[in-house]
Amino acid sequence: MNRQLFRILLMEDDAGDAEIIREAFRDARVELTIDHVPDGEKGMSYLRREGGYAGAGRPDLILLDLNMPLKDGREVLSELKSDAGLRAIPVLVLSTSDADRDIAASYGLGANCYLKKPLGLDDFTEVIKSVERFWLAMAKLPPREDVAWGRA
């Protein structure tokens, strides 16, 4: 299946990091939409199409910050991967932590990838470009219509 538009759900509480990510994807070689939520509770509402997210589109990929308010990335990952309608969506954890316990916990909860957020703008941009090259150009993502998503 050749997609014309990718949808990314970005769960990130840091507005600066969210803007860097958006900017890095701006020159993407593929068409994409980035939907941004600032915390884990809103992220799960989006995925379950609750409240103001009733018309939300199913993401092809989730970029998940570990340290967010209200519901952190570990809780989101646990809920997401426990839900039959959501678990097929690939989740890339983005974190400032390079602690082995955070990396192991993320993979243990079902993360598909763990990326440490670089401190420098150029390095951060390069990480996001690498995500685009691999996840949106090389990898084959689950077809949207094959996943009955958003059901608890």
Any idea what the CATH number is for the domain that residue 110 is in?
A: 3.40.50.2300
Considering the domain boundaries, does residue 129 fall inside one? yes
Considering the domain boundaries, does residue 149 fall inside one? no
Give residue-wise pLDDT tens across range 129-138.
888 877 777 6
Considering the domain boundaries, does residue 145 fall inside one? no
Domain count, the chain: 1
Considering the domain boundaries, does residue 150 fall inside one? no
Considering the domain boundaries, does residue 78 fall inside one? yes
Cα–Cα dist 30/12, whole Å:
22
b vs e for 101-121, b when ≥16 Cβ sit within 10 Å of the residue's Cβ? ebbebbeebebbbbbbbeeee
Instruction: Please give the structure tokens belonging to residue 56.
Output: 């939300």
**Angle at alpha carbon of residue 96, lines to 84 and 22, rounded to 5°:** 70
Considering the domain boundaries, does residue 75 fall inside one? yes
Considering the domain boundaries, does residue 143 fall inside one? no
Identify the residue with better confidence: 136 or 53. 53
Q: Which domain holds residue 64?
A: 6-138
b vs e for 46-74, b when ≥16 Cβ sit within 10 Å of the residue's Cβ? bbbbeeebeebebbbbbbbbbebeebbbb
Give residue-wise pLDDT tens across range 57-92.
889 889 999 988 888 889 999 999 999 888 889 999
State the pTM of this model.
0.84
